[in-house]
Amino acid sequence: SLHSLLLAMVLHPSFQEKVHAEIDDVVGSRRPPAFDDQPRMPYLHAVILETMRWNPVVPMGLPHTSLKDDVFDEYFIPKGTAVIGNGWGISRNTKYYEEPSKFDPERFLKQTPELDPREFVFGFGRRICPGSELGFQAIWITAASILWGFKLERGSDDIVAPEQDSERFSLGSVRYERSYKLYNEHNSLRRAKCAGVLQVQNYSKAPKPWRYVRSLWMIVVAKPGMRPPGIATNRWPIPLA
């Protein structure tokens, strides 16, 4: 996702400028971003959501097997069927997104935002990725730090959007751009140096409410062939206090 976000910022400099303006207004130049800044940075939040929708890392999800015969709408699903959630199809569905092939983070800043891609990019149901919230927060703080310290420009002329040259993107369970070159053109060398050096930060916790603990039973107690315990068969996800 970070790979795609950097690509998106290079391809769409006007959106990158808006993120820089927001970070400069909230954070300034005397310190790097922290999780406490997150509630006041809606534009960066929207850019991350749009990156996840525009170029999902796992476009077709992972296969799961039906435990018994089932019916979904008019479709009969026999026991033992491999079922794959089509996240790519959802991300390109005009029912949920206006001009879905277009990169536009402002779709999530409308009075009625479009569908949050976290509803499908991390999987579905009780088998959803248990690290979804951790993953999102890691992307947020890393993206905020990079864009605080760097203005990203093309390092070569062959950088293109995914829909313009699909062969440059990997094929398989995970989708990413094979390679591209960027360079920094930030007007503050001190900030670029600060962001470019690995630092030990005493970050505050990510802002509450933390969304969910999802599928935690799979990590803690699950064994091959084991069915979910009773708590996992009830309504999910489980909210954190």
Per-residue pLDDT tens listing for the chain (241 residues): 888 898 899 889 999 999 999 999 999 988 889 999 999 999 999 999 999 999 888 888 788 888 999 998 889 999 999 988 889 999 999 999 999 999 999 999 999 999 999 999 988 877 788 888 888 999 999 999 989 988 888 766 665 555 554 555 555 555 545 455 555 555 555 455 555 444 445 455 566 555 545 455 455 544 555 555 554 444 444 444 3
In a domain, 238, yes or no: no
In a domain, 196, yes or no: yes
Q: Are the C-beta atoms of 105 and 50 separated by less than 8 Å? A: yes
Q: Are the C-beta atoms of 57 and 4 separated by less than 8 Å? A: yes
In a domain, 239, yes or no: no
Q: Are the C-beta atoms of 180 and 212 separated by less than 8 Å? A: no
Please tell me whether 194 is known to bind a ligand: no
In a domain, 156, yes or no: yes
| C-alpha span between 10 and 14 (Å, rounded) | 9
**Domain interval for residue 26:** 2-233
In a domain, 240, yes or no: no
In a domain, 241, yes or no: no
| C-alpha span between 72 and 39 (Å, rounded) | 39
CATH number of residue 60's parent domain: 1.10.630.10
Task: Provide the domain count of the chain.
Answer: 1
Backbone angles phi, psi at 152, to 5 degrees: -90, 130
In a domain, 62, yes or no: yes
Rg (CA), the chain: 20
